[in-house]
Amino acid sequence: MSTVYDPHDAPTRDPVAYLYRKALLQPPQVVPLSGGVSGETLLVEAAPARLVLKRALSRLLVAGDWTAKPERAMTEAAALELLHGLTPEYTPQLVHADREQHTIVMTAAPADWLPWKTVLLGEEPDPTHGTAATAEVLGTVLGTWQDRTWEAPQVAARFDDYEALDQLRLSPYHGAVAAAHPQVAERVVDLSAELRSRRDCLVHGDFSPKNVLVGPDGLMVIDFEVAHAGAAVFDLAFLQCHLALKAMHLPHRAPEFAAAAEHFLHAHRAVLTSGRRPPVERTGWHTACLLLARVDGLSPAGYLRPATAAAVRALALDLLRADDPAIEEVWAKIMESAC
Ligand SMILES: Nc1ncnc2c1ncn2[C@@H]1O[C@H](COP(=O)(O)OP(=O)(O)O)[C@@H](O)[C@H]1O
Ligand SMILES: [Mg+2]
């Protein structure tokens, strides 16, 4: 006798439920992504798609009172579109931008990639070809962005919103350290004014190891909310500052970070000079100013021990009180204090 099937159970009535039951289709998985403070970021996986959904918050997820307008999500969307066009291998692809919801959707990095910061701090084994090799690729990527957007009128017109830069960088970094250190306030205010007034090229604005995802066969730069048409020196100094902080925090690895800083600058310079762009100036002072901001600004580097923070402060104040140092000089001083 043959079985009589209820037509309500027919696979074609609810094919998705049927395919889930038969394990022929996987239900989407949603995983919150930690590490950021300025938005809600989720990974949504429904094989083969892997997408990242990011909604900008107006109040940042930090202890202090730190607000920024959520419209910066659309700045991030525009920067992703522009830079994915220039370096598709090294930036996510924008999939969707929702102006009303301050939300963007982009492609995700491969599942086994890690924030470079966790690798540099030794929290995870290094999956890359080494710190210097990663830094060199980053130098080429940043150099390419700067070279291709150099004094471009369309870039200046599209990335002319300076509120995120003011709210997320100049006020909590430069403003806070100028108030805390009157003896260098004039210099810091001057550096801040330079960042606010120059229109060299597109600036990432948060070019830090936290915003670089690395894997065995590549890297991806993320987090373009503070992108603006501005001073080329800012992204250079930002990365130098992060490498310098790691060198002072982990003195036994200081030579590794110093070599990475050199490889980064060398690769960056090679791209810019091939495009015959003017050299980037005052990297030394800007690096010193950012070092001071990461100990006495609104967002201090969480991993520094008090004695290291004191050494960073002393070094940064010294550098800011003297003539603009060559970046090599800054590194020589970092190596002295790390030994
Ligand atoms: N495209 C992506 N692929 C994989 N992980 C990502 C991607 N974008 C963001 N993330 C993860 O989410 C975290 C927060 O995203 P990010 O854009 O840096 O936000 P925030 O502005 O809050 O710092 C990152 O540190 C990273 O771990
Ligand atoms: Mg981030």
Q: Measure 110 CA to ligand 1 centroid, in angstroms.
A: 13
Measured in degrees and rounded to the nearest 5, phi and psi for residue 73 equal -60, -35
pLDDT computed for residue 339 by the predictor: 63
pLDDT computed for residue 77 by the predictor: 98
Which of 261, 264, 239, 234 lies closest to 335, judged by CA? 261
Output the furthest CA–CA distance in the chain (Å, rounded): 97
pLDDT value at 1 more than 60? no
Ligand 1 atom closest to 107 (CA): 1
Confidence band, pLDDT 50/70/90 cuts, at residue 48: confident
pLDDT value at 122 more than 90? yes
Cβ of 51 below 6 Å from ligand 1: no
Cα angle 285-287-291, degrees, rounded to a multiple of 5: 115
Cβ of 144 below 6 Å from ligand 1: no
Q: Whose CA is nearest to atom 1 of ligand 1?
A: 108
Looking at the CA of 219, which ligand is closest?
1
pLDDT computed for residue 177 by the predictor: 97
pLDDT value at 67 more than 60? yes
* Chain position carrying tokens 């439920």: 17
Taking the mean position of all CA atoms in its chain, how far away is CA 255?
23
Query: Residue range 269-285: average pLDDT?
Result: 90
Q: pLDDT tens digits for 90-113?
A: 999 999 999 999 999 999 999 999
pLDDT computed for residue 63 by the predictor: 61
The winner for highest mean pLDDT among 31-35, 62-66, 295-299 is 295-299
DSSP summary character for residue 67: B
310-315 contacts: CB < 8 A, separation 24 or more? 311/248, 311/337, 312/245, 312/248, 315/248, 315/288, 315/291
Confidence band, pLDDT 50/70/90 cuts, at residue 3: low
Q: How far apart are CA 65 and CA 57, in angstroms?
A: 13
Q: pLDDT tens digits for 209-219?
A: 999 999 999 99
Cβ of 109 below 6 Å from ligand 1: yes
Tell me the fold of 111-338. Aminoglycoside 3'-phosphotransferase; Chain: A, domain 2 (3.90.1200)
Q: pLDDT tens digits for 159-215?
A: 999 999 998 899 999 999 999 999 999 999 999 999 999 999 999 999 999 999 999
pLDDT computed for residue 7 by the predictor: 66
| Listed range (45-59, 166-180, 252-266) with the worst mean pLDDT | 45-59
Looking at the CA of 33, which ligand is closest?
1
pLDDT computed for residue 96 by the predictor: 96
Of residues 47 and 197, more confidence is placed in 197
Confidence band, pLDDT 50/70/90 cuts, at residue 2: low
Ligand 1 atom closest to 108 (CA): 3
Tell which one of 222, 225, 238, 242 to mutate to probe ligand 1, the residue whose CB is within 8 A of the most ligand atoms.
Answer: 222
pLDDT computed for residue 60 by the predictor: 65
pLDDT computed for residue 5 by the predictor: 65
Cβ of 228 below 6 Å from ligand 1: no
Query: Residue range 251-278: average pLDDT?
Result: 94
Q: Measure 263 CA to ligand 1 centroid, in angstroms.
A: 25
For the chain, percent of residues with pLDDT exceeding 90:
78
Query: Residue range 66-94: average pLDDT?
Result: 94
Q: Whose CA is nearest to atom 19 of ligand 1?
A: 36
Please state, rounded to an integer, the average pLDDT across all residues of the chain.
93
